[in-house]
Amino acid sequence: MSEHIVYPRVYIGIFFILLVGTLLTVLAAFRDFPGPLNAVVALTIATIKATFVVLYFMHVRYSGRLVWLVIASALFWLGIMFALTISDYSSRGWLPI
Amino acid sequence: MPDAIATTHHATAHPALQHHFENMEQQREAGTLGMWVFLVTEIMFFGGMFLAYTLYRYKYPGAFAAASNHLDIRLGAVNTVVLIVSSFTMAMAVFSTQVGKRRNSIIFLILTLVLGLTFLGIKAVEYKAKYDDNLIPGHLIPSHPFNPTVAQHGDTDPHKLHLPEGVSVRNVEMFYWIYFAMTGMHALHMIIGAGILITILILAWRGRFSPEYHSPVEITGLYWHFVDIVWIFLFPLLYLLGRHLEGHM
């Protein structure tokens, strides 16, 4: 078996990174950053947390190229969905609700 | 004689090896890849709702901030920690199975299940509070339509909606549509995850997993961590988006 086993010390490290990230995102939410920076900070912290979960808890760091390709294609298509839809909505009028 | 060939081929193979795979490693890698392909569809599924959230938040920033501030940040934060701990115990369950420690594996699976149910319990408490404040959108509950009380200036009753100037209750309702759609779908995934965990737990109890064969535990882990990641994004986007404006509203 060439399977890579991730040891508990790595999991414990990631676990604490996730807890610190949660604390930071709560603390940052109560500070008033200029412009849209609050959303940028919140999403940056969330993306970093998610990346650690994917790479270590989900073993992607030790997975084959095919798994990387599948994830990259998912993000690519997600990007297409967001980019095209937002460009459409931001260039048209809205009906009031 | 294809049967005879198949028998020879599998004479020394692991009993869990399916006939269409060469060996256990190929079978495990195919299973992992298949699960990732499924998770791609899940990313696109939740992605559609995140997109709807983005559009409406951009369109109605004041209403979204006010509606978000009405959510219980303490319960939301506690649930975030509960899910992170459950992801850790799930990862430990996978590790324990990989190294053949059946007893630890069962303990960590039970812990993960209990934490998942704790999350759902806290979510139910939050939903009940929204029901009491008449914040269930539209006529989802026919006898209990969306009808929150809007606080007058100076009124600090936390059960009332505190709206800034020029914000429509209709747009607050849109936030709650998105809130219930996203957290409801997430909770449904947690319920399904709890069902999968119980199944895996029974199989682990019967000693079906070993260092050679543990794909089901690994794949359950992938699903569980994915659901955790969805919440990692939902928590700041739903609970924290307007906190920095609380003093100004």
Interface contact flag, B73 A26, Cβ < 8 Å: yes
Is A68 part of the contact surface with chain B (CB cutoff 8 Å)?
no
- CATH pick for B30-248 out of 1.20.120.80, 3.40.190.10, 1.10.1660.10, 3.40.50.2000: 1.20.120.80
Residue A3 lies in a domain: no
| A50 vs B25, B229, B245: nearest CB | B229
Count: domains in chain A: 1
The model's pTM is 0.93
Q: What angle do CA B28, B32, B33 make, to 5 degrees?
A: 115
Minimum Cα–Cα distance from B230: chain A residue: A50
| Residue numbers of the domain that contains A85 | 8-89
Interface contact flag, A45 B236, Cβ < 8 Å: yes
Bridge partner residues of B150 (DSSP): B161
Strand residues in B99-238 grouped as ranges (E): none
Query: Collapsing DSSP states into helix, strand and coil, what is residue B164?
Result: coil
Is A5 part of the contact surface with chain B (CB cutoff 8 Å)?
yes
Helix-helix angle B215-234:B24-59, to 10 degrees: 10
Residue B11 contacts residue B195 (beta carbons within 8 Å): no
Tens-binned pLDDT, residue by residue, of chain B (249 aa):
455 454 445 557 888 899 999 999 899 999 999 999 999 999 999 999 999 999 999 999 999 999 999 999 999 999 999 999 999 999 999 999 999 999 999 999 999 999 999 999 999 999 999 999 999 999 999 999 999 999 888 888 889 998 988 899 999 999 999 999 999 999 999 999 999 999 999 999 999 999 999 999 999 999 999 999 999 999 999 999 999 987 665
Write the DSSP string, A13-82: HHHHHHHHHHHHHHHHHTS--STTHHHHHHHHHHHHHHHHIIIIIT-GGGS-HHHHHHHHHHHHHHHHHH
Reported ipTM: the value is 0.94
Question: Which residue is it, tokens 């040891």?
Answer: A7
